Amino acid sequence: MAKAEDRRARADETAPREAGGLTAEQEATWFAYMRVALRLNYEINRELQVDGDLSHQDFHVLNALADSPGRRLQLSDLAVRIGWERSRVSHQVLRMEARGLVERRRSRDDARATDAALTSLGAAALRRATPGHAALVKRMFFDGLDPDLLAPLHTALDQIHEQILAEGTLPRPSGRQARWTSTAED
């Protein structure tokens, strides 16, 4: 009798539910991911503001620019790189420009377009913020993870990212992103 109940319980976990088509295991995993993502975003944003006078959004923009040829990107390419709407990037860059972290410049490739360029002040802010950020990520994300799960987690995240690129509405980012890909050399 217990074996039959176990089989039914496992079947319930793997059978799609009507609302959204997620299995019970998929739904539980999604909510686990959301708990981690939301809480980690809060902690990262708080740490960057306290230690570096940067927001998490500032940090995304600065990292993307620092990792780009000539330390600049067209606003539309920056939006694709960090997965934001172009208008959001435009507003963020304006705020950051007012603080001297980035500059808007006419694009070298298209005179109708605008580039965001990393300033020396922005590069210095990124250098100052990175050690504390890395320490927080290590402490909050990796220190609680079983080392045997690191490689499978990396593989899973790469697969999910590829699925998002294949099925999502933003175009695939152009060029190689040294610090943003699994094939980056350390």
Sequence ranges of the domains in the chain = 24-167
Tokens linked to 162: 């590829």
Backbone angles phi, psi at 117, to 5 degrees: -125, 135
3-state SS, one letter per residue, for 57-98: HHHHHHHHHHCCHHHEEEHHHHHHHHCCCHHHHHHHHHHHHH
Whether pTM > 0.85 for this model: the answer is no
Q: What was the pLDDT predicted at 174?
A: 78
Averaged over successive runs of 10 residues, the pLDDT of the chain (186 residues) comes to 64 58 95 97 96 94 95 95 95 98 93 95 96 96 97 96 92 69 41
Q: What was the pLDDT predicted at 15?
A: 58
What single-letter DSSP state applies at residue 18? T
The class level of CATH for 24-167 reads: mainly alpha
57 close to 92: Cβ distance less than 8 angstroms: yes
